[in-house]
Structure 1
């Protein structure tokens, strides 16, 4: 990976202070922005500003956000920068700039920005990719007509498996067939995995975003890489092992801690993990999924143990306050066969691995009740309508008589719910 590029637009400041210049760009900063390669990023939300935007700015890009919120767009355009605060003892802040913003519905302006871009990224949520694909394709159409063959990487930084590949299929549906061959030559969609905890928050400064210090961004090198290497990104040949490591450690561990914490009566994940019984349960789950990851992908055992330690430390960060209701929400989706709880259990079963604590976490997810969470309410209806064995049989995709169905049912019965 190339050396880090000095970036005068990122100014570290003392805790509690934002070293921001007056709104608007000076002539020197306008020249600085013009000299930088341009990255167009779809989504100015928590991950967009708190992870992708700051990382790209540190790598020397001018970042142009594509957004829907008119007030957010106005502020980004006027201020040309925003602050990121890190949830740590020091409370360090960074001011990120130069940045700009464009409404997703402004076809002409979006086409101009994408025509000048060296890189496109997204962080809109996996389910929202279809809603941006048409606007992206329309802007790309103009670029493909006159770009002279310049390659353009498009990276979907979403919490899902092979999101860039999914976005590629969506974009090609909206591109005229006559441009498909040219698009296949010029556009690449490297798949990626991202990881940073950004809690729900409301700040007096609407652009300020508070994030944990840890971050991980892994990009598969199957397609052409960004013209300028992104600082801090790990480039790998095969993203699969890294995606599973994150899904079966961070995602599995986070929701397991939330469900165990819910049963113990805690309000936040941080409170739950301050309790030794909950922390021990969460660690046991990650030891079980860790054995699976080592068996499937050959990760170094000591390095993976350190990764588990770091993951639990992140979850317990006292400078964050993650409500259990947020981390535990959508239990029906989290219990899907392809998701963080059931999939590692099924893969472990294929390898002959015993995962009793993961089975307890699945039982705890089935016992989660929140009348404000539609999926929780629907899951409760399914349990009443089909019974515990029927619901488990459907979720696991196994006969009611299967050993896994019976053992998870026994774990649920032990909860006394």
Structure 2
């Protein structure tokens, strides 16, 4: 069996690539990084290290690389023969990747099943990729092709390894795929197929991502620089748990997760945050503040739901305040937010950008 994976970065090699390898796939990594592609074609193997004391090491073999822009013939051949196409490039890059994939699908024909999956940190990213491909060639080439959405979760710490291909990842991972959109009968082991993906997308978003935001924005106000430093402070951990207690209300009210299940999930997530081998810089964790204060993202969506339904939301309101005060001069979104707030005020920003109404605005302004 063969796979083509777009994005030969740490997530691509350390997470998606490892799962595909463990399922017996020969993997062609497609990327524009000359150094990575050259190393893949020279070594044809790399090692995935688990980020913990005495962590295991896994050899990944049977891999090669193609330069997405330069090796067009090799890429066309790989796509013609592949059983699965995956991506880990960032949701904003998917329309570009679609232009690369689309013409080769027309040449592929409607033979064996093919699944195309965008493994991005975004909601329903495969739908985005599918729409972009359809805009290039229409849908006539989609016969026997599945476009299942997926949710992915694995922390990859900042790292510098002696071997450019080796990658360090946490032991925990979760890859959830829409079962009904999968083409063919050959499914992946180590992956959770579900009829409805949204509960898992929002559980991860409002636990892992909201939790990371809470650590970054509150930890930075206390003068910490990394997740590991912040998580040693009981005050940060208490605030984190208060935030996740509130998002638990959203999740258990909207989906079938029980409070016990969500409590166990939170304990597991906090254990991941406390892992010193996974520590990340708070500026990096907190960057992209405009997106993170968007109306459907990790802070505002559960906050608005709890406010509108009369539930406790004090910690999430406080998290908005800490996000507004976050100061990362290297983040373009931070600079844009700061300019809007400086020129037009907090209320204008939160009403126009985050979609907050007067009552909630007044609550938040009272905390500033």
Scaled to the shorter chain, the TM-score interval is over 0.9
CA distance in 2, matches of 1:328, 1:226: 40
* Residues 82-109 of structure 1: per-residue CA shift (max 9 Å, x gap): 1111111112211111111111122211
| Conserved 8 A contact 2:87-2:119 | yes
CA distance in 2, matches of 1:199, 1:308: 20
| Residues 1:141 and 2:106 are matched in the alignment | yes
Alignment of 1:16-415 (within 5 A): 37-105=1-69, 106-144=71-109, 148-175=110-137, 177=138, 180-181=139-140, 183-225=141-183, 227-399=185-357, 402-411=358-367, 413=368
| Conserved 8 A contact 2:23-2:189 | yes
3-state DSSP of counterpart to 1:219: strand
CA distance in 2, matches of 1:311, 1:97: 31
Deviation at 1:151, TM superposition (A): 1.9
* Residues 282-329 of structure 1: per-residue CA shift (max 9 Å, x gap): 111001001110000020221110100111110111122200011011
CA distance in 2, matches of 1:405, 1:354: 16
| Conserved 8 A contact 1:251-1:340 | yes
* Residues 370-395 of structure 1: per-residue CA shift (max 9 Å, x gap): 22222112211111111122222223
RMSD of equivalent CA atoms = 1.3
| Conserved 8 A contact 1:118-1:226 | no
| Conserved 8 A contact 1:255-1:328 | yes
Deviation at 1:396, TM superposition (A): 3.3
CA distance in 1, matches of 2:162, 2:199: 40
CA distance in 1, matches of 2:82, 2:354: 45
Deviation at 1:200, TM superposition (A): 2.4
Aligned residue-pair number = 367
Deviation at 1:61, TM superposition (A): 0.9
3-state DSSP of counterpart to 2:155: coil
| Conserved 8 A contact 2:4-2:28 | yes
CA distance in 2, matches of 1:243, 1:174: 28
* Residues 60-81 of structure 1: per-residue CA shift (max 9 Å, x gap): 1111111111121111111111
3-state DSSP of counterpart to 1:200: coil
* Residues 104-124 of structure 1: per-residue CA shift (max 9 Å, x gap): 122211111111111111111
Deviation at 1:227, TM superposition (A): 4.7
| Conserved 8 A contact 1:164-1:191 | yes
Question: Which runs of no fewer than 5 residues in structure 1 stay unpaired?
Answer: 1-36
TM-score (norm 2): 0.97
* Residues 163-215 of structure 1: per-residue CA shift (max 9 Å, x gap): 0111000011111x4xx33x232221000000001122222211111111110
Deviation at 1:351, TM superposition (A): 2.8
Rg (Cα) greater in structure = 1
CA distance in 2, matches of 1:98, 1:226: 24
TM-score (norm 1): 0.86
Higher mean Cα deviation, 305-314 or 85-94? 85-94
3-state DSSP of counterpart to 1:160: coil
| Conserved 8 A contact 2:153-2:173 | yes
| Conserved 8 A contact 2:144-2:183 | no
